[in-house]
């Protein structure tokens, strides 16, 4: 098996290196990951500046992959379009330092990179480890759990281009209690901002590190993590509200200045 690995914490992040070591147990691995931390980059891509990609060696001096001065989605695009000598069978993003559950998947660069892999019809898995209240997370044990989750997902023979989000609970409280497949929580998180004044008297705001979800939807990834379960959620990137299409097609769409007799562009002729 050939595996592309990426993340949003950067190619030198300890969680990334720990998961790379585990994924090498499953096949050939190459990394294409950000040169610096890109947390909360979502699915953004670089448009107005060049993207520098530098080859990186591992501790033994062997080829590890490429450090990319761009976003996580840039990394996957470059990997699949330009950098990799082969087409991967699997894209794995992580191991992220911090959970990516609930609506945080919309902000997460870890998940954004996995979504980009799914765009290319590659089975793609985002893996994250919940942070402990104090101290460093156990990335080595977390990576072992993540690798086992990847194995279990692949054993289910997911269809081409499938996308999964895996979250591992804080391991400082002990081993996880099990594995559960649940939907993404959609209840709002509560953030806070620290208001400050700079030396020139300008007011600025700095978002705090804690994100709380006081009223999560029951039986979702957020509630299961709180119960110390490893969660896996199948995701999709089609945001269309299909249940609204028929109703909205009946609305009055008469717009002043619209000329329905105008011919369609040649490239669109014959398409609905």
pLDDT computed for residue 269 by the predictor? 52
> Residue 199 above 90 pLDDT?
yes
pLDDT computed for residue 188 by the predictor? 86
The C-alpha atoms of residue 167 and residue 144 are separated, in whole angstroms, by 13
pLDDT computed for residue 107 by the predictor? 93
The C-alpha atoms of residue 114 and residue 127 are separated, in whole angstroms, by 9
Residue indicated by tokens 């500046």: 49
Instruction: Judge contact between 211 and 132, C-beta under 8 A.
Output: no
41-50 pLDDT per residue, tens: 999 999 999 9
> Residue 103 above 60 pLDDT?
yes
Q: How confident is the model at residue 115 (pLDDT cuts 50, 70, 90)?
A: very high
Average pLDDT, the chain: 93
pLDDT computed for residue 180 by the predictor? 97
Instruction: List all residues 6 or more positions away from 92 whose beta carbon is below 8 Å from its beta carbon.
Output: 3, 4, 5, 6, 19, 23, 114, 124, 125, 127, 150
How many other CB atoms are there within 10 angstroms of residue 128's CB atom? 30
Q: How confident is the model at residue 272 (pLDDT cuts 50, 70, 90)?
A: very low
The token duo for 243 is 């249940």
What average pLDDT does range 216-235 have in this prediction? Answer: 95
> Residue 266 above 80 pLDDT?
no
Return the CATH fold of 2-186+214-264. Answer: Stationary-phase Survival Protein Sure Homolog; Chain: A, (3.40.1210)
pLDDT computed for residue 260 by the predictor? 82
Q: What percent of the chain has a predicted confidence (pLDDT) above 90? A: 81
Query: In the chain, what are the domain boundaries?
Result: 2-186+214-264
The C-alpha atoms of residue 6 and residue 158 are separated, in whole angstroms, by 20
Instruction: Give 189's DSSP letter.
Output: P
Residue indicated by tokens 């953030």: 191
Pick left, alpha or beta for residue 68 (phi over 0 → left; psi -120 to 50 → alpha; otherwise beta): beta
149-168 pLDDT per residue, tens: 999 999 999 999 999 999 99
């Amino acid at each position: 098996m050939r595996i592309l690995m990426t993340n949003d914490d950067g190619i030198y992040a300890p969680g990334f290196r720990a998961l790379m070591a585990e994924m090498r147990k499953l096949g050939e691995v190459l990394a294409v990951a950000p040169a610096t931390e890109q947390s909360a980059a979502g699915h953004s891509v670089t448009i107005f500046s060049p993207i520098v990609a530098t080859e990186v060696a591992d501790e033994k001096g062997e080829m590890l992959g490429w450090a990319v001065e761009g976003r996580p989605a840039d990394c996957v695009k470059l990997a699949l379009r330009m950098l990799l000598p082969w087409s991967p069978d699997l894209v794995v993003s992580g191991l992220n330092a911090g959970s990516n559950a609930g609506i945080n998947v919309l902000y997460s660069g870890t998940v954004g990179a996995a979504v980009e892999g799914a765009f290319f019809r590659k089975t793609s898995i985002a893996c994250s480890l919940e942070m402990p209240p104090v101290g460093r997370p156990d990335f080595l044990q977390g990576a072992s759990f993540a690798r086992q989750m990847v194995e279990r997902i692949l054993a289910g023979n997911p269809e081409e281009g499938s996308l999964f989000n895996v979250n591992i609970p804080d391991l400082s409280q002990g081993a996880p209690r099990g594995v559960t497949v649940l939907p993404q929580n959609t209840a709002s998180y509560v953030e806070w901002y620290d208001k400050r004044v700079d030396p020139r008297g300008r007011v600025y705001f700095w978002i705090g590190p804690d994100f709380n979800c006081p009223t999560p939807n029951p039986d979702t990834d957020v509630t299961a993590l709180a119960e110390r379960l490893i969660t896996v959620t199948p995701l999709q990137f089609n945001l269309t509200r299909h249940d609204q299409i028929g109703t909205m097609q009946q609305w009055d769409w008469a717009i002043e200045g619209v000329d329905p007799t105008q011919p369609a562009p040649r490239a669109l002729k014959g398409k609905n």
